[in-house]
Amino acid sequence: MSVQSLDIISVNLWQILISLANLLIITFVLKRFLFKRVQAVLTARQEQVSKIYGEAEESRNAAVSMKQEYEARLASAREEADGLVRTAVVTAQRKGDQILAEASGQASRLKQKAEEEIAMERRQMLTGVRKEISDLAVGIASKVVEREIQPKDHEAFVDEFIRNVGDEA
Amino acid sequence: MKRDAKARVVDWLLVALMVLPFVLSMTLKVLLKPAGEGISITGAQVYFTIPMPVMDLPITESQVNSLMVVLSILGLCLYLTHGISVVPHSKRQIVAEWIVEKVQNLVNSNMGAYFSAFAPFIAGIMFISAFSSLSSLLGLFPPTSDMNIVAGWAILVFVLITYYKLKGGLFPYVKGFFEPVFIFAPFNIIGEVATPVSMSFRHYGNVLSGMVISTLVAYALQTLSHKLLGWLPGVLGQFPFLQVGLPAILSLYFDIFSGLMQAFIFALLTTIYISTGFPQEEYERRKAKRKKALHTA
């Protein structure tokens, strides 16, 4: 079998055209099966990444605003609590003062009433005692000087005497 | 789990599509190429010839191999992008993304945003050239050492260069040949035509010369081995001991480094020639003018 070979330098139009077509086919193959696919994936990934970044930024903003809101709310709550305590203290003080004042007023009123009662009782007692003493004295005196002494004359005298005694007592 | 198994089967099929063309090509070579005596530095072996108008088309090793390269690259692309997802979970997806991003960056930085759609073409040049050159590692005839193959690519590049030059208008393109004075016209035309010729000769010459040097060195070492160690008894005397080592290092340079380098150079030159040939300002000016005329009409 004789081996037929080309010369080292040989030019053949058809071979050149076939080679040219091969390069075009390879270009098409790379474009269709490598570049388009990979670039589609790359763009999809880019979109996904930017989407994730956007979401992260959004949630971070939301968290920051929520935090601010909480802080504001906390501060207002604290203020409110302070106000409540203050008003409670003031009210309690006022109420205490009022109660104290009422109590002292009542006490003084009671004391006054008691004093009045005591004074009245003393007066009544004194009147009773005076009358009894005068009756007693008149009785004794009438018994002692039954005849000579006119009850009418001596009553005034005894009364005067007792009044003096009562005043002295 | 079932889907997993299905995906794995598809993976294996795609790897087979990637590898089998080269196996087929090697089988063809083993079957059809008789073991040669001595050394012979020739072009690609002709398997058969198809009669065509103008000139017959010989189907050669390089034709078959470049077809196999195309199939293999198709398999590689399908394998790399099989099961691709937004969240990467395979190494090959990372490789695929790396390739796409690197080529896209190269094209964008060398050619500008206007030519960003050129990335698959540039990647195609790199892949087809690198695969063709590296097929010599498998003992195949590298298609890039056949001038017709590389000339086809260079002519396509030349067509693209001219197409983008003409975007600035026919008159400026023709006028460009008469600059700075009209006497320079022949030289300018030669310079224009020299672009594809130099591109194809550079690439093809590099790969071919590597092949020639490798063959010569291997032959020389074989001869030297026979002369120096021929006194050894029996099979030992016949065995070319000196051929062990040095050819491997040469192959490392000529087949791998030089092959990849030429692929890169060819792609880079393509980007530079097309983008520098394109008169962007002129093109934009004309476009704006046409738009204005359309508005006034």
3-state secondary structure of A7: coil
DSSP A85-114: HHHHHHHHHHHHHHHHHHHHHHHHHHHHHH
pLDDT value, residue B16 = 92
> In angstroms, how far is the first alpha carbon of chain B from the final one?
65
Give the number of domains in chain A: 1
Per the CB < 8 Å rule, is A45 touching B58? no
Between A67 and B219, name the one with better pLDDT: A67
pTM (two decimals): 0.74
> Are the beta carbons of A33 and A39 closer than 8 angstroms?
no
Picking from B33, B42, B78, the nearest residue to A8 by CB comes out as: B42
Residue of B nearest to A9 (CA): B147
| Residue spans of beta strands (DSSP E) within chain B | 46-50, 57-60
pLDDT value, residue B184 = 86
Asked if residue A95 is part of any domain, the answer here is yes
Burial class (CB in 10 A: 0-12, 13-18, 19+), B286: middle
- To test the contact with chain B by mutation, choose from A11, A15, A20, A50 the residue with the greatest count of B C-beta atoms within 10 A, namely A15
Picking from A1, A26, A41, the nearest residue to B73 by CB comes out as: A26
Alpha-carbon gap, residue B148 to B200, rounded angstroms = 9
Helices and strands per DSSP (H, E), number in chain A: 3, 0
pLDDT value, residue A77 = 95
State CA B123 to chain mean position distance: 10
Per-residue DSSP letter, B168: T
Asked if residue A37 is part of any domain, the answer here is yes
Query: Six-digit token pair at B67?
Result: 């077809």
**pLDDT of A132 over the 80 cut:** yes
Picking from A7, A17, A30, the nearest residue to B152 by CB comes out as: A17
Alpha-carbon gap, residue B57 to B64, rounded angstroms = 13
CB contact, 8 Å: A52 with chain B? no
Per the CB < 8 Å rule, is A41 touching B45? no
Asked if residue A49 is part of any domain, the answer here is yes
Kindly provide the ipTM of the predicted complex, given to two decimals: 0.86
Alpha-carbon gap, residue B195 to B266, rounded angstroms = 11
pLDDT value, residue B168 = 82
Per the CB < 8 Å rule, is B44 touching A6? yes
Q: What is the mean pLDDT of residues A138-147?
A: 74
Asked if residue A6 is part of any domain, the answer here is no
> In angstroms, how far is the first alpha carbon of chain A from the final one?
179
Per the CB < 8 Å rule, is A29 touching B55? no
Per the CB < 8 Å rule, is B86 touching A22? no
pLDDT value, residue B1 = 52
Question: Where does the pLDDT of residue A1 fall: very low under 50, low under 70, confident under 90, or very high at 90 and above?
Answer: very low
Question: Where does the pLDDT of residue A168 fall: very low under 50, low under 70, confident under 90, or very high at 90 and above?
Answer: low
**pLDDT of A112 over the 80 cut:** yes
Question: Where does the pLDDT of residue A148 fall: very low under 50, low under 70, confident under 90, or very high at 90 and above?
Answer: low
Alpha-carbon gap, residue B66 to B49, rounded angstroms = 17
CA distance A47 to chain B (A): 10
Query: Six-digit token pair at B93?
Result: 């997806």
Q: Which residues pair with B49 in a beta bridge?
A: B58
Asked if residue A93 is part of any domain, the answer here is yes
Task: Sketch the domain layout of chain B as residue ranges.
Answer: 2-296
Contacts of B58 in chain A (CB under 8 A): 6, 12, 15
Rg (CA), chain A: 65
> Are the beta carbons of B186 and A50 closer than 8 angstroms?
no
3-state secondary structure of A163: helix
pLDDT value, residue B285 = 87
pLDDT mean by block of 10 residues, chain B; 297 residues: 80 91 88 68 78 83 90 93 84 91 92 89 94 87 88 94 88 84 88 91 89 85 80 70 77 87 93 88 86 84
Per the CB < 8 Å rule, is A6 touching B43? yes
Alpha-carbon gap, residue A82 to A76, rounded angstroms = 10
Domain ranges, residue A50: 13-168
Per the CB < 8 Å rule, is A14 touching B57? yes
Express each pLDDT in B170-225 by its tens digit.
Answer: 888 888 888 788 888 889 899 999 999 999 999 989 988 888 888 888 888 888 88
Alpha-carbon gap, residue B94 to B131, rounded angstroms = 20
Which residue's structure tokens are 């034709």?
B63
Burial class (CB in 10 A: 0-12, 13-18, 19+), B5: exposed
Asked if residue A8 is part of any domain, the answer here is no
Asked if residue A4 is part of any domain, the answer here is no
Asked if residue A2 is part of any domain, the answer here is no
Per the CB < 8 Å rule, is A30 touching B123? yes
CA distance B169 to chain A (A): 26
